[in-house]
Structure 1
Amino acid sequence: MLNDIVTFINDLLWNKGLSVLWESEDAISTVQVPILAVMLVLGGLWFTFKLGFVQIRHFGHMFSIMKGSQKSDKSGISSFQALCTSLSARVGTGNLAGVAVAISLGGSGSIFWMWMIAILGMATGFAESVLGQLYKVRDENGEYRGGPAYYIQQGLNKRWLAVLFSLCLFLGYGFIFSAVQANTITDALNHAYDIPTQYSGLVIIVLAGLIVIGGFRAIAKFAEWIVPFMAVTYVLVALAITFINIQLVPAMLYDIITSAFGLQEAGAGALGAAIKNGIQRGLYSNEAGSGSVPHAAAGATPNPNHPVSQGYVQMLGVFIDTMILCTCTAVVILLAGGSNGEQMEGIRLTQTAMSSHLGDFGGDFVAAAISLFAFTSVVANYAYGESNLHMFKLDNKIGRGVYTLGYLLMIFWGSKASLPQVWAMADMALGLMTIINIIAIVWMTPTIVAISKDYFIKRDRGERPEYSTGDCQIQGETETGIWDQK
C-alpha cells in the first residue's frame, strides 16, 4: 500500500503533466512534460527576469563575494562554512548515481537539460537564500536558524503552510534522503568489495552520530574541511580522463546537443526522456527551488552584513554542484560510451565507466568518492532537519534526541532497502517540498526584488552593502534584534 501511495504521488508530481506535440521527420508524437518540471523552469525564468539575469550579470561578483568569507561569530557560521554545508548536502548521490540514472534513462541529451535547469536554478537559489537569510531567527542557544518555514511564517503569515513545509522537510531531509545516501554508499561498497550492507550501514551510523551530536556548528566545521578536498580531487581525476580522451570530446558534445533536442533516430521519445530525467536528476542534485539550501544560508553571519550576500554564496553552490561536479561525472560516463543503458543502474554505471578509463583503480576511486560524497550529505541532511525543530519549540535535549534517533534508524533502513524504492520515496518528498517552496518564493517576489535592489544600488554607489531594518519595504516582519543595527 505504501508503494502504491508513493507511486501515485510521484505520478502526479513527476510524470503527469502537459502534453506537447513534437514533430520529427517520420511522425508527430506527444511528449508529456511533468508539472513540477514546468514549475521549476518557469520559476527559474521568473527570477532570472525579475532579478535582471543576476546569475549572468553578476557572475564575477559571485566569486569575489567569497573574499573574507571565513569570518563568523557566536551567532552564526561563516559564509564559507555555509557554502560548504550546502555543498555537503548537494554533493552526493545526485552527482554520481543521479547523473548515471539520468544518462541511463534519458540518454546523453539529459545532460544538456541538467545544465539548463542549473543555470535557471542559480537565480532561484539566489532568491530563496536571500529570504532564508533575511527572515532568520535565533534558537534557544542564540544561534541563527532559518529556512522556508520561517520566511513563510514571518513573511506571509501562513503558519499552516510553514508547518506543512517543515513536515515535508523532516520526511525528506531529516529521514529519507539520508537513507538514499546510505543506500548508495552500501551498494557501492558491496559492489566493489562484497562488504555486507548491514555492516557498512552500522559504520555509517556510528560516524554520522559522532559528528551530528555536536549540532549545526560542528557539521559546518566538518564540511569546511572535507568538501574542498573531495571536490578538487574529483575534478582533477575527471580532467585527467578528459585530456586522455580529448579526441572524443567534440563527438561527445555533439551527441549531447543533438540528443537533447530529439534530433537523432529515437526522436520524440528520446526528447521526452532527456527532458524529464535531466530536470528531475538535476533538481535532485543542485536542490535549487526545493527549499533546502536556505537553511544553510540562514545559519551564516554574512559578509558584508546584507541578506543578498548569501544569495550570491548559494548561487555559487548551484554552479559548483551541477555545472562542475555533475558535468565531471557525465564526461566520465559518456567518454566510456555509457549512454545506452536500458534500466536504472545507479552508481554501478559510474563505477563501470571509471574502471574502463582507469582499470581496477577506477572502481576503487568511485567507491571511495561516493562514500565520501554521500556521507557528507548524510551529515548535512541532519542539519537541515535540526533547523526546523525551533518551529515546533523542540530545539531542546528531548526534541533533538528523538529526532537524532529517528534519523539514525532511517540510515540503517536505507542501507538495506532496494534502490528503486528509496529513490521513489526521495522523489516524493523532494517534489512536495519544492511545490510549497516555489509557491512561497514567487509569492514573496516583491521582497526579493526590493532587498536585491537595495544591495545593487549600494554596491553601484561604491558603498559596502549593509542592511538594517527599514532600508527597504518587505513583506511581514523580521525577528527583532536581527537586523535592527548595522
Structure 2
Amino acid sequence: MVDTVIGYLNTLFWSYILVYGLLAVGVYFTVRLGFLQFRHFGECFKVLFSGAREDREGISPFQALCTSLASRVGTGNIAGVALALTLGGPGAIFWMWVVALVGMSTAYAESALAQLYKYRDEEGQFRGGPAHYMARGLNMPIMGHVFAVVLIFTFGLVFNAVQSNSIAAAMQEAFGVPELMSGAALVLGAGIVIFGGVRGIAHFAEKVVPVMAGVYLLVVLYVVLANITVVPELLYTIVAQAFGWQEAAGGVAGGVMAALMNGIRRGLFSNEAGMGSAPNIAACAVPDPHHPASQGFVQALGVFIDTIVVCTATALLIMLSGVYEVGGALTGTALTQAAAADQIGVAGTYFVAVAILFFAFTTIVANYSYAENAMLFLEHGWKPGVLVLRLLALAMVLWGSVQSVATVFNAADAAMGLMATINLVAIVWLSPKVVLLTRDYLAQRKAGQVPEFKLEAHPQLAKGVERDIWGSEGK
C-alpha cells in the first residue's frame, strides 16, 4: 500500500507536475526578466569575483557558489548523465542543456528572494531560504513550515543515505573496501565538517569543490582532445537526435519523446533549479554589490557550471567510448566507469570511483547545510534542534552505506517533488518583487553605478524585510 502511494506520487510529480512545471516556470522567468541569463551572463562572473569576503555576518559569494555546487555536482553528473544517454539517447543531453539554460533564471529568482528576506540569527550570521520568503514575503508561515519539514527529510536525511550508498558501492567495486568500513569513514569525515556549521561547510567547499571539478574536467578534456576530430559529429548528433533529424539505434529508446523526457528529468535532478535547495545557502552570503539580485546571478552561474559544463563533459566521455549503446544493459555509474576505462585504461575505473567519492561526499555536507537552515526556521527556541539533526544526518550516512531500500529512497523523491512544487508556487507568486529587484539592479548598472539596494526607495517591498540589513543603516 505504501509503495503504491509513493509510486503514484512520484509519477504525478516527476512525470507531470515538475517535468512541465519547472520547465514552464523557467521559461516564465526567462521571458519576464528579459532573457536575463543570456543578455547579462557576464554579470555572473563580475559579481562572483567582485572581491567580497566572508565576515562575521556571512560567507562570501564564492563560498556560497562552491557550497551550492557541492550539492548540485554529485552522482547525478556521473550516473544521471549515463542513465539519460541510455534511456533517451544523445538527444537527451540537448534537453538537459535547455533545462539548465532556462533554469538559470529560476535559480536567479529564488536566490534573489532568499537574499531579500534573510535575517540574522542569534550569532549575528545571515540565514534564510524558501521557508523564510514564504513566511515573510507571502505571509504564509504554514507553507514555510511544510517546506522546511520536507526539505529536512529529503536533503538532510534520506538523500545523505543515497549518497553514502553510492560511495560505498563504488569503493567496494573498485577497491574491495567493505561497505560498513566506507560508511564509518564517511561518518567521521562528514562529522568533522558538519559540526563546523555553515561556515565550516563553506570553508570545506571553497577548497574542495574547485579542485574536485577541475581534476574531473581536466581528465575529460584530455579524452576530448585525443578524439577532437569526432567531437563536432557528436555535438551534431546530440542536436539532431533531440529533434528526430537523425534516427538513433535502439528504436523507441532513442525517440524524440524519450530524449525530451529523460533529458528534462535528469537535468532537473542534477541542477536543482527551482527546487528550493540552493537558496538556503544563497541567503547566508554577504552580497557584493550590496543588492539581493547580486546573489541571484551567482547561483544562476551554478546551474550553468553543473549542467552545461560538468554534465556535458560526462556525456562526451561516454559517447566517445566504444562501450556506449542506446538502450543497452550497461548504464549508470557502471557505464561511466566502463567509458573511462575504454579511454584511459583500467585507471579510468578507479578515477570514476574516486570522483564519485568526492562528488557524493561534498553533496552530503552541502545537503546538510540546507537542512540546518530549515531546522533553524522550525526550532522556535528549541536549542537541541541542530544537534539532533546533525546526529540523525550522520546516522543516515552510516545506515545508507549498507542498505539498498528503494521504498525509502522513492519516498525522498516524492518529498522532493512536494518541496519543489511548493517552492515553484511561492516564487511565481513573488515574481513581481523579483522583477522590481532586477530592474533596480540593472538600472544602476546602466547608469554606471555600483548597485546598492535601498529599502527606503522601495516601500512596496518593505513588509517582511529586515530593515537593519537592507535599510540605510544596514549597509
TM-score (norm 2): 0.94
Asked if the contact 1:122–1:288 (Cα under 8 Å) also holds between the matched residues in 2, the reply is: yes
Q: Greater CA deviation, 145-154 or 243-252?
A: 243-252
Corresponding position of 1:278: 263
Asked if the contact 2:54–2:286 (Cα under 8 Å) also holds between the matched residues in 1, the reply is: yes
Aligned equivalent of 1:222, options 161, 181, 204: 204
SS of 1:285's partner is: helix
Task: Indicate the structure with greater helix content.
Answer: 2
Query: Aligned in 2, Cα 1:80/1:385: closer, same or farther, shift over 3 Å?
Result: same
Counterpart check, 1:54 vs 2:39 = no
Give the Cα separation in 2 of the matches to 1:343 and 1:397. Answer: 50
Give the Cα separation in 2 of the matches to 1:147 and 1:455. Answer: 21
Counterpart check, 1:324 vs 2:309 = yes
Counterpart amino acid of residue 149 in structure 1: A
Displacement of 1:269 in angstroms is: 6.9
SS of 1:388's partner is: helix
Aligned equivalent of 1:245, options 227, 252, 269: 227
Corresponding position of 2:438: 452
Q: What is the RMSD of the two structures over their aligned residues, measured on CA atoms? A: 1.8
Query: Aligned in 2, Cα 1:351/1:425: closer, same or farther, shift over 3 Å?
Result: farther
Counterpart amino acid of residue 203 in structure 1: A
Displacement of 1:374 in angstroms is: 0.8
Query: Aligned in 2, Cα 1:331/1:204: closer, same or farther, shift over 3 Å?
Result: same
Q: Within 5 Å, give how 1:33-72 maps onto structure 2.
A: 34-72=16-54
Counterpart amino acid of residue 441 in structure 1: I
SS of 1:195's partner is: coil
Corresponding position of 1:29: none
Q: Within 5 Å, give how 1:143-162 maps onto structure 2.
A: 143-162=125-144
Corresponding position of 1:18: none
Give the Cα separation in 2 of the matches to 1:408 and 1:278. Answer: 32
Corresponding position of 1:307: 292
Asked if the contact 2:174–2:350 (Cα under 8 Å) also holds between the matched residues in 1, the reply is: yes
Give the Cα separation in 1 of the matches to 2:413 and 2:443. Answer: 40
Asked if the contact 2:52–2:286 (Cα under 8 Å) also holds between the matched residues in 1, the reply is: no
SS of 2:287's partner is: coil
Asked if the contact 1:69–1:80 (Cα under 8 Å) also holds between the matched residues in 2, the reply is: no
Counterpart check, 1:104 vs 2:90 = no
Query: Aligned in 2, Cα 1:339/1:135: closer, same or farther, shift over 3 Å?
Result: farther
Aligned equivalent of 1:370, options 346, 352, 356: 356
SS of 2:384's partner is: helix
Q: Greater CA deviation, 377-386 or 418-427?
A: 418-427
Query: Aligned in 2, Cα 1:346/1:47: closer, same or farther, shift over 3 Å?
Result: same
Report Cα offsets for 1:254-308 as digits up to 9, x if no partner. Answer: 3212321234263697222222221111111111000011111100010111101
TM-score (norm 1): 0.92
Give the Cα separation in 2 of the matches to 1:423 and 1:255. Answer: 34
Unaligned runs of 5+ in 1: 16-33
Report Cα offsets for 1:200-238 as digits up to 9, x if no partner. Answer: 111111110011101000100001101111111111111
Give the Cα separation in 1 of the matches to 2:418 and 2:84. Answer: 21
Displacement of 1:104 in angstroms is: 2.0
Corresponding position of 2:465: 478
Query: Aligned in 2, Cα 1:367/1:421: closer, same or farther, shift over 3 Å?
Result: farther
Report Cα offsets for 1:297-346 as digits up to 9, x if no partner. Answer: 10001011110110111111111111001111111111114142445832
The number of equivalent residue pairs is 468
Aligned equivalent of 1:206, options 188, 194, 215: 188
Counterpart amino acid of residue 399 in structure 2: W
Aligned equivalent of 2:274, options 277, 289, 298: 289
Counterpart amino acid of residue 316 in structure 1: L
Aligned equivalent of 2:147, options 161, 165, 176: 165
Give the Cα separation in 1 of the matches to 2:328 and 2:426. Answer: 38
Counterpart amino acid of residue 10 in structure 1: N
Displacement of 1:409 in angstroms is: 1.6
Give the Cα separation in 1 of the matches to 2:260 and 2:463. Answer: 38
Asked if the contact 2:88–2:263 (Cα under 8 Å) also holds between the matched residues in 1, the reply is: yes
Counterpart amino acid of residue 320 in structure 1: I
Aligned equivalent of 1:119, options 93, 101, 125: 101
Runs of at least 4 residues off by over 6 Å: none
Asked if the contact 1:155–1:475 (Cα under 8 Å) also holds between the matched residues in 2, the reply is: no
Q: Within 5 Å, give how 1:406-421 maps onto structure 2.
A: 406-418=392-404
Query: Aligned in 2, Cα 1:209/1:268: closer, same or farther, shift over 3 Å?
Result: closer
Counterpart check, 1:430 vs 2:436 = no
Give the Cα separation in 2 of the matches to 1:449 and 1:333. Answer: 40
Report Cα offsets for 1:101-136 as digits up to 9, x if no partner. Answer: 211222211111100000000011000010011100
Query: Aligned in 2, Cα 1:446/1:403: closer, same or farther, shift over 3 Å?
Result: same
Q: Greater CA deviation, 445-454 or 105-114?
A: 105-114
* Identical-residue share of aligned pairs (%): 47
Counterpart check, 1:80 vs 2:62 = yes
Counterpart amino acid of residue 14 in structure 2: W
Displacement of 1:422 in angstroms is: 6.2
Counterpart amino acid of residue 145 in structure 1: R
SS of 1:65's partner is: helix
Counterpart amino acid of residue 243 in structure 1: L
Aligned equivalent of 2:337, options 343, 348, 351: 351
Corresponding position of 2:12: 12
Give the Cα separation in 2 of the matches to 1:237 and 1:474. Answer: 48
Query: Aligned in 2, Cα 1:36/1:277: closer, same or farther, shift over 3 Å?
Result: same
Corresponding position of 2:3: 3
Corresponding position of 1:390: 376
Report Cα offsets for 1:125-169 as digits up to 9, x if no partner. Answer: 000010011100111211111110000000000111111111110
Counterpart amino acid of residue 411 in structure 1: V
Counterpart amino acid of residue 352 in structure 1: A
Asked if the contact 1:97–1:184 (Cα under 8 Å) also holds between the matched residues in 2, the reply is: no
Give the Cα separation in 2 of the matches to 1:305 and 1:201. Answer: 42
Q: Greater CA deviation, 467-476 or 164-173?
A: 467-476
Give the Cα separation in 2 of the matches to 1:426 and 1:479. Answer: 33
Displacement of 1:396 in angstroms is: 6.0
Displacement of 1:398 in angstroms is: 1.1
Report Cα offsets for 1:150-208 as digits up to 9, x if no partner. Answer: 00000000111111111110111111221121121111112112222121111111110
Displacement of 1:419 in angstroms is: 7.6
Asked if the contact 1:180–1:422 (Cα under 8 Å) also holds between the matched residues in 2, the reply is: no
Give the Cα separation in 2 of the matches to 1:394 and 1:186. Answer: 37
Asked if the contact 1:394–1:400 (Cα under 8 Å) also holds between the matched residues in 2, the reply is: no
Give the Cα separation in 2 of the matches to 1:274 and 1:421. Answer: 27
Give the Cα separation in 2 of the matches to 1:228 and 1:60. Answer: 20
